[in-house]
Amino acid sequence: MTEDPIVFEVDTSEAGQRLDRILAGRFPEVSRSQVQRAFAAEQVTVDGQPRPKSYKPLEGCTVSLTPFQVTSLDAQPEDIPLSIIYEDEHLLVVNKAPNMVVHPAPGHPGGTLVNALLHHNKALADTGDPLRPGIVHRLDKETSGLLVVARSAEAHRTLAAQLKDRTLGRIYLALSWGDWREPEGILRGNLGRHLRDRQRQAVLPRGGREAATRYKVIEELSFVQLCQVQLETGRTHQIRVHFAHHGHPVVGDPLYGDDRRGRNVRPVDRQAAARLVAAAPRQLLHAAELHLLHPADGKLMEFQAPLPDDFTHALDQLRKDLGRDSTPA
């Protein structure tokens, strides 16, 4: 049963402390594991915005903790196929399939990458967040591609630090609507929760978190462009939001304006555009390259993952309609 939220204001003695420490001090009867699961399920908010456990609220901020499902969610091992690119005693790199959720959450209690990872290696259960054991960074459900997983607490700490200081780098491929005015550049705009639709992120006129996305057009395909994308920051839905905000939503992305495609398509290309939409069962966004420093010896490691079949099929259909040979991206 859903319980009423626990709501309180941050007092002078708590201001500037980590949010998880504030909760631990106020509610010593709640276990550390329960608090971590509340954060994983985005059940802790500050002034209405879900915040990570490391967030440091100011005096007077309103904190809300909703105990719903804090104890009922549990990541269990499940025999789900995995595409493992690399594995050793410290880490593994997986090529996540499209339409796979990364970790359990309300609405997705099972069938996730974490469930598959726990079946592959039960020791991950002792690494990091109980609902996200070993997870260093995430990919959206529909986004495919490379993701690194820590196999020890020390590896998790080291890789998380690399993610923060950007020595852990990711390069994506995205198919976007429209003809970019500049073939390469950096998209900027602070990101935060949409002011009206709480399921979406948005570029905010005030507040939000700084975000920068570097893009480069690598293949021009009439009314769409294949872009190489590199994250300068790692915000929720960052590529999708920045691309849509600048008038070039990712093909197959209904959440951030894929229905705007008509503005960028000439009447002569409408049938080809319709066939592309039919061939794109999801947002065509793929984490194609990953580089990091090995947490044990600091050696540079680089990984690549080819485009999945659905992305390749959509590109092949488009190139055929445009009278081009099918070439790998």
Name the strand (E) or helix (H) holding 99: none
Q: Indicate left, alpha or beta for 223 from its phi (over 0: left) and psi (-120 to 50: alpha).
A: alpha
Q: Indicate left, alpha or beta for 295 from its phi (over 0: left) and psi (-120 to 50: alpha).
A: alpha
d(CA 251, CA 257): 9
Name the strand (E) or helix (H) holding 202: strand 201-203
259: Cβ contacts below 8 Å, ≥ 6 apart: none
Neighbours of 127 (CB within 10 A): 22
d(CA 22, CA 73): 23
d(CA 41, CA 130): 11
| Straight-line distance from the first to the last Cα atom of the chain, in angstroms, rounded to the nearest whole number | 49
224: Cβ contacts below 8 Å, ≥ 6 apart: 175, 176, 177, 178, 251, 276, 318
Structure tokens at 54: 């490391």
- The residue among 207, 130, 216, 132 whose CA lies nearest residue 171 is 216
Residue tagged active-site, from 129, 140, 258, 321: 140
88 in active site: no
Q: Which residues are catalytic?
A: 140
